[in-house]
Amino acid sequence: MEDSSCPTVPSRSNTDMYKLNKELERVIEDVEDISVQLTWMAYDMVTLRTGFEGEACMRELQEATCDVGTGTWGVILFALKKKK
């Protein structure tokens, strides 16, 4: 006797699965691009609202990060305090 509660899944060929995977990868990349654009838009809004003081602080943080290299945040913050 057949069990009618279990639906049957149609089998798909490898080419169909390959096409679906490629399409999924494309959609994921598009979503990542949109996420990056939204992040930059948010950054621009914050920069415009806070003025250029925030930009100067970010530049100092970036310089301290470059000076210290791949150190921990504690070392980076110590370097910033030492600079001032």
Alpha-carbon span 84 to 61, nearest angstrom: 12
Over residues 37-77, the pLDDT tens digits come to 999 888 888 777 776 666 677 777 777 666 555 556 666 66
Alpha-carbon gap, residue 72 to 65, rounded angstroms = 9
E runs forming strands in the chain = none
Q: Is residue 3 part of a domain?
A: no
Residue 1 lies in a domain: no
Establish if 50 belongs to a structural domain: yes
This prediction's pTM: 0.45
Q: Domain total for the chain?
A: 1
Has residue 22 been placed in a domain?
Answer: yes
46 is a domain residue:
yes
Q: 69 in a domain, yes or no?
A: yes
Structural domain boundaries enclosing 24? 13-82
